[in-house]
Amino acid sequence: MAAPAEEVEAAVVRASGEPLDSFVRRLAQAKAAAIVATGATGVVLACDTLAELEGDPLGKPLDRTDARRMLMALSGREHRVVSGVCLWQRPGGEPVLAHAESVLEMDRLTDEFLDWYLDSGLWRGKAGACGFQDERLPLRLVAGSPSNVVGLPLELIRAMIANLDRLP
């Protein structure tokens, strides 16, 4: 059985100064390696998506107060979402790594909207305390793929799969 994603993420630590794209590729490879270690064959796909605001990671909020802090930090600003992808053909293949990046901008949040959103609970379990797919959230895609923002960059994966037969 593969290690749960949380265990893999806890085992892979972001090095000081490491770019987010490098880190999420390493996370994706570690997840894929955990699956490969079980003896899995075929094509293994692993992905990890993280967000950051001006270089600071946006994890999942601990509680409502933490969610409010994150949402206020995002209010009226841009942030980025980066997904690392590992595609690994087994047996015999080598891991293929890539990443996708999207930029989002959030409108300024009013106190009334913030209270409603926090009361809704939609922030629970979401990096940055918000989800691109959340109804009424004033969050716009500025650049990149919407599928990347929700955690699986389909365009990137399609291109990687198309190149699988060209790999040694």
Structural domain boundaries of the chain?
Answer: 5-166
- How much is the pLDDT for 9? 62
Please say if 48 is a catalytic residue: yes
Provide long-range contacts, Cβ within 8 A and 24+ apart, for 36-40: 36/88, 36/90, 37/2, 38/1, 38/2, 40/2, 40/90
Q: What is the pLDDT along the chain (168 residues), one digit of tens a residue?
A: 445 556 666 668 888 889 999 999 999 999 999 999 999 999 999 999 989 999 888 888 999 999 999 999 999 999 999 999 999 999 888 999 999 999 999 999 999 999 999 999 999 988 889 988 887 889 999 999 999 998 899 999 999 999 877 755
Give the separation between CA 21 and CA 7, rounded to whole angstroms.
Answer: 20
Catalytically annotated residue among 48, 56, 63, 111: 48
What is d(CA 113, CA 35) in angstroms, rounded to the nearest whole number?
Answer: 42
Considering the entire predicted model, what is its pTM? 0.84
CATH of domain 5-166: 3.90.950.10
Q: Which two tokens stand for residue 49?
A: 């998506």
pLDDT on residue 2: 45
